[in-house]
Structure formats: C-alpha cells, structure tokens
Chains A and B, each alone.
Chain A
C-alpha cells in the first residue's frame, strides 16, 4: 500500500524557517517524481514545487522561489521541503504528493501537515 506521511509542521514566526519531511513507503520511491502542494485554510490548492526522480530537475512556484528548497533522499525514501523567510501567506496544510507519470498528475497524497506562520 502506498503511504506518504508528512511531518515537521507547526507554528513559526514570520521570517523563520521550517523543514518538512515526507516518508514514503509501499512503492519504489526512487522511480517517481514528487511534488509539494499546499492549501491555505478555507482556500484552494496551490502547487508549490516538483522534483524529478533523481533530484536533478526541480521547479518552484513563483510565490516560493528563492525561499523554499525541495530535496529528496532516495536511500531513505524521503522527500523534504526547506522553508525559509516564512510569511503569513505561507500558512497552509502542506501535502506531499506522488506524480503518477511525471506529467503533474498526482495519484497519491499524504494526509498533510499544517504550517502556521504567526507572531
């Protein structure tokens, strides 16, 4: 069974940093592209970042470019999102998401981890 389990969310002050982790199991992690998607409270979905299966290709949404860094450790079946210079508008549930075939179709989602940026 495919499982994606996020961790690392919490309350952080504006300007602070947080590192999210996603533990993957039930599939060959190293062969799948992965994404982070977020959803602000009561709002819609927002694509945040993508990383190829090898980690060699990375893309970011303009809203997080230069502040967030996506990475992966295929030996540990883990995906990460390092978030720096956090702003109130980054407050959201962050989902770890598996890309079905590398074209952006997300076939499995984690349960999400809440990040709250507030003083």
Chain B
C-alpha cells in the first residue's frame, strides 16, 4: 500500500491555471476509475472536490476538473483564486480492496 506520488508543492498566480499530478500503478489508478481529490485548508477537515476521476460534487466550482491517463490522475484548477491556496490530496481504490492517498500537494497562490 505505497502512497500515490504527488508533487510536494505547486504555485501559480491569480487567474492562471495549474495542474497537480498523482501517479500510481496498474494496481490502483491504472485499473480503477475510483480516483478522488480533496482540498484541505489548515486546521480544517478535507473537502471532496472530484470523484470518479472527473466528476464534481454539487457546489464545487467548475474551475476544478479531473482527468486520468494510464497510471496518472490529474487535478486542474483554472482561474486561480486566493481561496484555492490549500493542500490537495488524491485517493484511489486498489486491487487489494483498500484505498490509498497521495502524499499531498501544497498549492501556493502567489
């Protein structure tokens, strides 16, 4: 159950777009479409932003989108806003009938 691989940090200026990658293996992301993304502000509980690779829950801005190619999932945020500054985590179902998170990515809005 190794953690999925995410960049430790990404940054962008207001209005720009950024993409956070999440790399797994053929035993998780590569086989299953049960990939989700979470946003966590300091001291707060995580918030679901994307589920099943590319679906947005009700209430989540359409500036957030998800995709997947082979063993890598991606979260793209367009039109960056100051409030997007947070930690982001990916999560995937695995062939062991378990789930695994990524190590997390700190997004800084410059």
Q: Do A and B come from one complex?
A: yes
- Please measure, in the bound complex, the distance between the C-alpha atom of A95 and the C-alpha atom of B100, giving whole angstroms: 15
| Interchain CB contact under 8 A, B46 and A105 | no
Report B9 CB to chain A, min CB distance, Å.
13
| Residue with the greatest number of chain A CB neighbours at <10 A, chosen from B48, B91, B97, B99 | B99
| Interchain CB contact under 8 A, A104 and B104 | no
In the complex, whether B85 has a CB less than 8 A from a CB of chain A is no
| Interchain CB contact under 8 A, A111 and B34 | no
Known: A59-B97, A103-B52, A105-B52. A44 touches B103 (CB 8 A): yes
Q: Which residue of A lies closest to B100 (CB)?
A: A47
In the complex, whether A50 has a CB less than 8 A from a CB of chain B is yes
Known: A104-B34, A104-B93, A106-B36. A47 touches B99 (CB 8 A): yes
Interface residues on A, range: 20 to 34
Report A95 CB to chain B, min CB distance, Å.
6
1/0 contact string of A94-119 vs chain B (CB within 8 Å): 01000011011111011110000000
**Which A residues are CB-close (under 8 A) to B36?**
104-106
In the complex, whether B64 has a CB less than 8 A from a CB of chain A is no
- Please measure, in the bound complex, the distance between the C-alpha atom of A59 and the C-alpha atom of B96, giving whole angstroms: 9
| Interchain CB contact under 8 A, A105 and B34 | yes
**Which B residues are CB-close (under 8 A) to A106?**
36, 38, 46, 48
In the complex, whether A45 has a CB less than 8 A from a CB of chain B is yes
- Please measure, in the bound complex, the distance between the C-alpha atom of A115 and the C-alpha atom of B21, giving whole angstroms: 31
Q: 4 closest Cβ contacts across the A-B interface?
A: A105-B51, A109-B45, A44-B104, A47-B99
B interface residues, Cβ below 8 angstroms from A:
1, 3, 34, 36, 38, 40, 45-48, 51-52, 57, 87, 89, 91-93, 97-104
Query: What are some 30 contacts across the A-B interface (CB < 8 A)?
Result: A44-B3, A44-B103, A44-B104, A45-B40, A45-B89, A45-B91, A47-B91, A47-B98, A47-B101, A50-B98, A59-B98, A60-B98, A61-B98, A62-B1, A62-B98, A63-B1, A95-B46, A100-B48, A100-B57, A103-B51, A104-B34, A104-B91, A104-B93, A104-B99, A105-B48, A105-B51, A105-B52, A106-B36, A109-B46, A111-B45
